């Protein structure tokens, strides 16, 4: 199963195309831009409480049969937070000093 490659930051709605080097994801594929992860979320996913990693970039070239962004395209469904900015800030403040691997 391939990553969904969501098209936007769930916090600020910035476009994050498949080759975006600033896209960050949590273990559940929640997707945010690097700026929001650093300045608003403090490396705390507002949905699960986990940390973030750079989202891998799906190859544009079909190096192996059937495997490329052209043949397995990114999602076009935009995703947005279901929590308020206050709820996001509260969770972040509560757990940001705990390393992600210890949450």
- Domain extent at residue 45: 23-102
6 occurs within a structural domain: no
85 occurs within a structural domain: yes
56 occurs within a structural domain: yes
pLDDT at 1: 77
Q: How far is CA 89 from CA 5, 39, 49, 60, 99, in A?
A: 25, 11, 12, 37, 17
Phi/psi for 62 (5° steps) reads -80, 80
**Does the global pTM surpass 0.85?**
yes
Segments of the chain with pLDDT less than 50: none
Total domains in the fold of the chain: 1
Residue 82: both structure tokens together: 């279901």
67 occurs within a structural domain: yes
pLDDT at 2: 87
H or E stretch at 53:
strand 53-54
17 occurs within a structural domain: no
- Beta partners for 24? 32, 54
């Amino acid at each position: 199963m391939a990553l969904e490659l969501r098209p936007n930051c769930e916090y600020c709605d910035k476009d994050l195309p498949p080759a975006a080097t600033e896209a960050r994801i949590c273990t559940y594929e929640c997707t945010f831009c690097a700026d929001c992860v650093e300045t608003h979320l403090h490396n705390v996913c507002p949905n699960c409480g986990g940390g973030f990693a750079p989202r891998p970039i799906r190859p544009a070239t079909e190096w192996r049969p059937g495997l490329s962004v052209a043949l397995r395209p990114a999602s076009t469904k935009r995703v947005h937070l279901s929590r308020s900015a206050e709820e996001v800030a509260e969770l972040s403040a509560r757990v940001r000093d705990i390393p992600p691997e210890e949450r």
